[in-house]
Structure 1
Amino acid sequence: MRKILLTLMIIITVLFGCQNSATEERNDGGFLWKVENEDTTVYLQGTIHVGNEDFFPLNEQIEDAYEESDVVLPEINLNELDVMESQSLMMDLAMYEEGQTLADDLTEDTFVALEEILKENDMGIEMVQQFKPWFMEMLLMQFALEESEYSPEYAVDQYFLDRADEDEKEIRELETYEDQLMVLSGFSEELQLEMLEDAILNYDEMVEDLDEITAYWLNGATDELSASGEDEESIEGYEEYMEEMNTNRNIGMADTILEILTEDSGQTYFVFVGAMHMVEDPSIVSLIEEDGYKVEHIY
Structure 2
Amino acid sequence: MTRKKKTALLSVALSAAMLASAFPAIAAPSNPNVEVNGKKLEFASNAPIAQDGTTLVPLETTFKALNISLKDTKNGTITAVINGKQVTLQAKAKTIDGVSYVPVRVIGEAAGYEVRWDATFNRVELTSKIVKEGGKGFLWEVKNGGNTVYLVGSMHIADDSFYPLHPSFEEAFAEADYLGVEVDVSKAADPDIQKLILQMGTYQDGTTLKDHISADTYKQVGEILTKNGLKADALDTFKPWVVETTLASLKSMEAGYEGSVGIDLYFVQKAMERKIPVIELESYESQLTMFNDFSKELQETNLKNTLTNFEMVDDSVDQMADMWKKGDDAALLELTKSFSQNEEYRKAMLDDRNKVMADKIDGYLKGTEKAEYFIVVGAAHYLGDTGIVKLLQDKGYTVTRK
Range of TM-score over shorter length: 0.7 to 0.9
Structure 1 residues 96-107: aligned runs within 5 Å: 96-107=203-214
Pair 1:42 & 2:149 matched: yes
Change in CA separation of 1:256 and 1:233 when aligned onto 2, cut-off 3 Å: closer
Aligned equivalent of 2:359, options 255, 264, 272:
255
CA distance in 2 between counterparts of 1:128 and 1:270 reads 38
Match of 1:128 in 2: 235
Match of 1:14 in 2: none
Q: List gaps (5 residues or longer) in structure 2.
A: 1-14, 21-132
SS at match of 2:280: coil
Does the 8 Å contact 1:27/1:219 carry over to 2?
no
Higher relative contact order (CA 8 A, sep 6+): 1
Change in CA separation of 1:7 and 1:203 when aligned onto 2, cut-off 3 Å: farther
Q: What is the CA-CA distance between 1:229 and the residue it aligns to?
A: 5.2
SS at match of 2:366: helix
Structure 1 residues 1-299: aligned runs within 5 Å: 6-8=16-18, 28-81=135-188, 83-228=190-335, 230=337, 233-234=340-341, 238-298=342-402
Residue type of the partner of 1:63?
Answer: E
Q: What is the CA-CA distance between 1:82 and the residue it aligns to?
A: 5.7
Which has the higher mean CA deviation after the structures are superposed, 197-206 or 95-104? 95-104
CA distance in 2 between counterparts of 1:281 and 1:118 reads 39
Change in CA separation of 1:80 and 1:129 when aligned onto 2, cut-off 3 Å: closer
Does the 8 Å contact 2:340/2:346 carry over to 1?
no
Deviations 1:195-222 (A, max 9, x none): 1111111111111111000011110011
Residue type of the partner of 1:284?
Answer: I
Which has the higher mean CA deviation after the structures are superposed, 98-107 or 240-249? 98-107
Deviations 1:222-254 (A, max 9, x none): 1112212545644xxx11111111111111111
Change in CA separation of 1:229 and 1:169 when aligned onto 2, cut-off 3 Å: closer
Q: How many residues in Structure 1 have an aligned counterpart in Structure 2?
A: 276
SS at match of 2:186: helix
CA distance in 1 between counterparts of 2:294 and 2:300 reads 10
Which has the higher mean CA deviation after the structures are superposed, 92-101 or 199-208? 92-101
Deviations 1:171-206 (A, max 9, x none): 111111111111111111111111111111111111
Percent of pairs with identical residues: 32
Structure with bigger gyration radius: 2
Q: What is the CA-CA distance between 1:111 and the residue it aligns to?
A: 2.3
Does the 8 Å contact 1:28/1:218 carry over to 2?
yes
Residue type of the partner of 2:372?
Answer: T
Q: What is the CA-CA distance between 1:281 and the residue it aligns to?
A: 3.2
Does the 8 Å contact 1:37/1:264 carry over to 2?
no
More helix by share: 1
CA distance in 1 between counterparts of 2:136 and 2:19 reads 19
Q: What is the CA-CA distance between 1:97 and the residue it aligns to?
A: 4.3
Residue type of the partner of 1:247?
Answer: D
CA distance in 1 between counterparts of 2:154 and 2:19 reads 11
Which has the higher mean CA deviation after the structures are superposed, 288-297 or 83-92? 83-92
Does the 8 Å contact 1:29/1:55 carry over to 2?
no
Does the 8 Å contact 2:135/2:165 carry over to 1?
yes
Residue type of the partner of 2:198?
Answer: M
Change in CA separation of 1:52 and 1:88 when aligned onto 2, cut-off 3 Å: same
Give TM-score, length-normalised by structure 1: 0.86
Deviations 1:112-152 (A, max 9, x none): 22111101222112222222111111211221122112111
More strand by share: 2
